[in-house]
Amino acid sequence: MNLQAHEPSATQQDVTGTLSRWIVGLRGDDIPAEVRREGLRTFVNWAGCAVGGADHETVDRAIAAITPFSGAATSGVLGRAERFDALHAALLNGITSHVLDYDDTHLKTIIHPAGPVASALVALAEQRTISGQDLLTAMIIGIEVECRIGNCVYPAHYDRGWHITGTAGVFGAAAAVGWILGLDETKMAWALGLAATQASNLREMFGTMTKSFHPGRAAQNGMFSSFLAEAGFDSSTRGIEAPRGFARVLSDKQDYAEITDGLGTRWEAALNSYKPFACGIVIHPTIDGCLQIRKEIGERVNDITAVALKAHPLVLELTGKKTPRTGLEGKFSVYHAAATALLRGDGAPTAFTDEVVADPGIIALRDRVTAVADLGCHEASVDIDVSFTDGTRLSHHVERALGSREVPLTDEQIGTKFRTQAALVIGEKAADRFLQDCWRLEHMTDAAEMARSGVRGA
């Protein structure tokens, strides 16, 4: 008696198998040009964030813990000088690229897709030879896989408390690395099974260093899953859909068609978006609106008596911290973000430092910001009502924030974001050169050229 025999709907589905067949059969040419182009924008945006976060204290502490255990130092970490084995380099790239909360977002699932996938591939590119085209193809495959798996279980899975970037991301890393390794269909299914059994990461960790550990560990664990499968380490071939597989155990909702339908024609990887501001996407309409108000009112920012926000309930749920004490906590405070955008015109990483969070002027304005949740408000919208000492008021509505699918960042804006943050870590000249190398990734016969160009002292 096998429990699976009692659940025909599960046995009829061949989700992991269908996905594995699609991954191993895909060639770079099968990906439409516009999807490849969005993939390149994703890569450039990610690489800038990886360098931008590289000198964060979180990364220093992780490196201190890792160093005694790291193996053959094949792979660098973007924005750093140290070298590590490829698995640990993948972990570190994942931490650096997420630590400023500045990376990309698949808006349907709030997955940050590039972190788990690109972090593994860039580390792998120095361990073995991968062309720039293949690296991009593998990254698009990995992102497609993780976003589809995310769609299958979102929102119930996220609502339960899972940090979906980690739980779905581990599949993306396994798929991307498995494709590079040339796994056959069975071994690819094993790799996804090994990913399924390692899927983890809790939203409880938001606001601590452990949040950025999640995409890093997903990259490392997914990569290791594919290396194990390559070595013949077997696993379930139904890790996603089995009665005790990923989707049922970690979610109360399963929509398997989101994974298997339209593979190769509907591209989730083309729906990626890039943050203009260095914090959770839910505050972006508020920052965008406050920056516009600042532009309009000029010096009168010093005369504000009250700021009233009306926003989607998720804004308060995720970023409702009234009195943040650190830069990291500031990212979880829509009050701090509004005050800093108004007073300093800043939504970049420099807006979320310990110093700015402790600034008396910022605190004074922050304490005058109130917010109410309105289910009728779109996640990318906000209403901002500002009152002044002279009794006048100003109302501002943001229909769709900069960085949303409707108002995407231009290539130039992605480049500016890259240079601004990377220059702080590796200097302007190195940042400019690395940016150019990222844009021309597909023209490199050896993607290690790009990886080496992004480390400190390159």
Q: In which region does residue 373 sit, left (phi positive, over 0), alpha (psi from -120 to 50) or beta (all else)?
A: beta
Q: What does the DSSP 8-state code read for residue 73?
A: -
Q: How far is the CB of 412 from a copy of itself (least distance, A)?
A: 36
Binding of a copy of itself by 370 (CB under 8 A): no
Using the rule CB under 8 A, which residue among 8, 27, 33, 232 binds a copy of itself?
Answer: 232
DSSP string, 204-257: GGTTSTHHHHHHHHHHHHHHHHHHHHHTT----S-TTTSTTSHHHHS-S---TH
Residue numbers 182-201 binding a copy of itself by CB under 8 A: 193-194, 196-201
Structure tokens at 133: 């085209």
Asked if residue 28 binds a copy of itself (CB under 8 A), the reply is: no
Stretch that binds a copy of itself, among 43-51, 222-230, 257-265, 393-401 (CB under 8 A): 222-230
Render the burial of 312-343: b for 16+ CB within 10 Å, e for the rest: bebbbebbebeebeebbbbbbbbbbbbbbbbb
Residue that is written with structure tokens 């597989």 in the block = 245
Looking at 21, 83, 203, 253, which residue binds a copy of itself (CB under 8 A)? 203
CA distance 117 to 121: 6
Residue 121: CB minimum distance to a copy of itself, A: 16
- Residue 221's identity, in one-letter code, is N
Nearer to a copy of itself, 45 or 109 (CB): 109
Residues 58-77 that bind a copy of itself (CB under 8 A): 58, 61-62, 64-65, 68-72
Residue among 271, 188, 263 at smallest CA distance from 230: 188
The angle, 0 to 180 degrees and rounded to 10, between the axes of the packed helices 284-297 and 334-344 is 30
Binding flags for a copy of itself, 253-292, as an x/- string (CB under 8 A): ----------------------------------------
Q: Which of 30, 37, 244, 392 binds a copy of itself (CB under 8 A)?
A: 244
CB 223 to a copy of itself: min, Å: 9
**Pattern 86-115, binding to a copy of itself, x per CB under 8 A?**
xxx---------------------------
Residue type, 298: G
The nearer residue to a copy of itself, 151 or 235, going by C-beta atoms, is 235
**197 in helix, strand or coil?**
coil
Integer CA distances (angstroms), 190 to 66, 135, 173, in order:
28, 22, 13
Please say which residue, 256 or 434, places its beta carbon nearer to a copy of itself: 256
Which residues make up the interface to a copy of itself (CB under 8 A)?
A: 1-3, 58, 61-62, 64-65, 68-72, 85-88, 127, 160-163, 166, 193-194, 196-205, 208-210, 213-214, 217, 224, 227-228, 230-236, 238-239, 242-246, 248-249, 316-317, 320-321, 373
